[in-house]
């Protein structure tokens, strides 16, 4: 089997934007090993943290994701317990905090993936590297 790896596949599976083969992170999304961002792609040698502090920009992506997630979580809470009132206040608070906590690894990972794949025009996909 040959051919290109799709961008969607590379994004979902956290692959390097340059070769779409190498993993961007060490460790798994939910696991005992805390995930870290690799400095260099093991497959093609692309620097993943292009320059020092590059991933500060990922904080903005992460923030936007957080806002969207909290809106979704709030809406689900609304469907389950009704509008935000005095007697549902703590339910809302606990659900939203738990949601943020559970989604933290997802935000960490996908904010960086979005930054690398969508917001980094300097990193171009090179099909040449997209083979085993």
Residues that bind Zn ion (CB under 5 A): 16, 18-19, 22, 41, 43-44, 46
Q: How many CA atoms lie within 13 A of 53 on its CB side?
A: 0
- Residue whose CB is less far from Zn ion, 82 or 126: 126
Our CB check for Zn ion shows the closer of 16 and 95 to be: 16
CB 3 → Zn ion: shortest distance, Å?
A: 17
What is the closest distance, in whole angstroms, from the C-beta atom of residue 24 to Zn ion in the complex? Answer: 9
- Alpha carbon 14 to its chain centroid, in Å, reads 8
Cβ distance to Zn ion smaller for residue 19 or 73: 19
E strands, the chain, in order: 25-26, 36-37
d(CA 104, CA 29): 10
Shorter beta-carbon distance to Zn ion: residue 82 or 127: 127
Residues near 18 by Cβ (< 8 Å), separated by ≥ 6? 41, 44, 46, 123, 124, 125, 126, 129
Q: How far is the CB of 85 from Zn ion (least distance, A)?
A: 51
Smallest separation, CB 61 to Zn ion (Å): 20
């Amino acid at each position: 089997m040959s051919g290109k790896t799709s961008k969607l596949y590379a994004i979902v599976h956290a692959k390097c934007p340059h070769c779409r083969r190498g993993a961007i992170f060490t460790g798994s999304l939910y696991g005992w090993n805390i995930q870290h961002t690799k400095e260099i792609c093991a497959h093609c040698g692309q620097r993943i943290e292009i320059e020092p502090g590059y991933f500060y920009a990922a904080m903005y992506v992460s923030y936007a994701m957080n806002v969207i997630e909290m809106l979704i979580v709030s809406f689900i809470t609304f469907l389950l317990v009704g509008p935000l009132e005095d007697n549902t206040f703590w339910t809302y608070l606990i659900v939203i905090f738990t949601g943020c906590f559970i989604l933290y690894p997802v935000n960490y990972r996908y904010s960086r993936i979005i930054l690398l794949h969508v917001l980094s025009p300097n990193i171009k996909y090179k099909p040449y590297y997209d083979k085993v």
